[in-house]
Structure 1
Amino acid sequence: MPPPRHPVSDLVSDAKIETTILSDSIQHVFYAPGHSAQRRQEQRVENWSRERKLGEGAFGVVYLERCQPEVEGGACKLRAVKQIKKHIVPEQELDYMRELEAIFKFSNPRYSHCFVRSDGWFEEGDYVFISMEYLEHGDLQTHLVRRPLPEIETRQITSQVLEGLEYMHENGFVHRDLKPSNIMVVSKSPEWFVKIADFGISKRRQQGATTTDTMNKGTLGFTAPEVFGFGSGEGDGGVSYSFAVDLWSLGAVVYLMLTNTLVFPTLGDLFKYATGATVFPADRLKAFQISEQVLDLVTQLMIPTAVDRPTAKSAMGHSWMTAPLIQLKGTNSDG
């Protein structure tokens, strides 16, 4: 029996775009206040055509689309559109409404410096489409292929992601799949500006939910041990895993930025650490001559017991986050 579908909130309902699917494009109608008694409301028509695929994940495909200019010589706009199939299998409907709720909550101007912004959504047949801002520099993962990042740049990114996580957690949302491919780059080195993206398995944490109610495996290498049932979890008798899973994931992201390697590349590695059979692989971090402060923060973020990890807010106050830049390592060199 499929789980009950998440109800449509007013926030999501109001963000739905009036849409007509044409043979070679998608047509949207947008409304805005008018400027006279005769024209109290004005409408704007936009036609969008698909350019190419940008990426693909477990629950959707993202395409680049171009807006056809209304007048010759007019400016062309680009957007990213995520296409989500409503049903993974015929008997299981994907609860895409919870992703929409998170997206439009954090598209508010108060939060949009931390999150990829959306201007609306529409549906057609078995698919839901989410219109999002297009960021030409792609995701953080594509920038970590060649070399580790300097510690100073790593802190820039970490600070911005922590700010976004603090907003999410204050509003009751857990991301649950934080990783470099879900961190989008607005501007790159040496002055990084990043935003959190992809709320595909994000969820509002409910009081009294069981672990199995909220269990959704994220991405191996970045997912906390309690998600896989390893270790002691939250240490509270089976209550839903919480905001702490995002802090673990951030620790794994920081480790990757500094070393260009995954901290726990296999489930076996993760299991051994979570159950105390092995210690945290700090030597790999030390080989890159990093500061003691960042080593301390990463090990705190990746404590096996979820309840012992710092919150996003307390992590922002860690000595590594507040230390003068002169105390940080400008470059990482393999020792």
Structure 2
Amino acid sequence: MIEKSTKIKASIVGSTGYVGLELVRLLSTHPNVELVRLISQSYDKKPLGDVYGSFFHTDYICSSEDLEELSHLSDVIFLALPHGISSAKVNAEILSRCKIIDMGADFRLSDVKVYEEWYCEHHAKDLLKEAVYGLCELNRANIKSARLLANPGCYTTSSILPLYPLLKDGLIESSGIIIDSKSGFSGAGRSANADSVFSEVNENFKAYKLASHRHTPEIEEHLSMAHGTALKVLFTPHLVPMQRGILSVMYAKPLSGVSLDSIKETYDIYYGLERFIRLLDTPPETRWVKGTNYCDIYVTLDSRTNTLVIVSAIDNLMKGAASQALQNLNIMFGFEESTGLPLIAQLP
């Protein structure tokens, strides 16, 4: 375990994307972390303050060093890269020198065939068994000793956390689960495309990638692990005209004899003492989690149709990406789990 007064050295690859930038913002004020390198191929040798004015006051300079060089300089490297790149860069030799927290999808799925069906060719098949899935509240024990950590996806975090306890304890039917999620447009990343310009986004609301979104197998894998048998879910994502946040609404059938009170008791057993999960008596809103690491969860029962309605809210760039990665770092290096994580939402 790292001494609490010791600063670990961290680098970020992909530091000028939205997720990378959130990592810079969070890690720059972490009392136990020194940011040693910010990697951006697009802005090599440019001050970060020239790219984002919010960093005018800092002396951060972007560079283009490769992962091999970084592994000699860093205790931990965050990879905020598109899918398919991390698996081509990470190897056992690099992992012998530093820890890797991968923000992308390359190490989230245990079955390489499933990964290649939904994404692309995988270049580090030998490392898949070692990779630890970093959903903090459910996998803390394994995260502590991880060298290679797969940070979960944003839609998956908002879906798995609410459904996992109910499937693990056998309280709901495993078939017919529906996940209906709405996300802000920052989830699409910073790269310009026709679908993300203001005139296309403003005053618009749409479903996309119906029955084909790449987070589907990730959700199914970890919910199947909870239930003990393979299951499938119907997952539909939507884009709404806001910058950040995810609101997921899940529908599931309780098993015979299972009451709403027993559902709430199960949530309290699993999450009642968790720092970053709030169990609410009213439906959550994305603005109450904006800029934080919280996942807010609410559940009710529609007695007419005997259907549980479960609502969760997260900030897709925070609990859905950067702040969960920082929570993982805290666990991996033995720091207090909430260190460096904002506890009050940004308003308005």
Larger radius of gyration: 1
Q: Same fold by TM (over 0.5)?
A: no
Determine which structure has greater relative contact order: mean sequence separation of CA pairs < 8 Å that are 6+ residues apart, divided by chain length: 2
TM-score (norm 1): 0.24
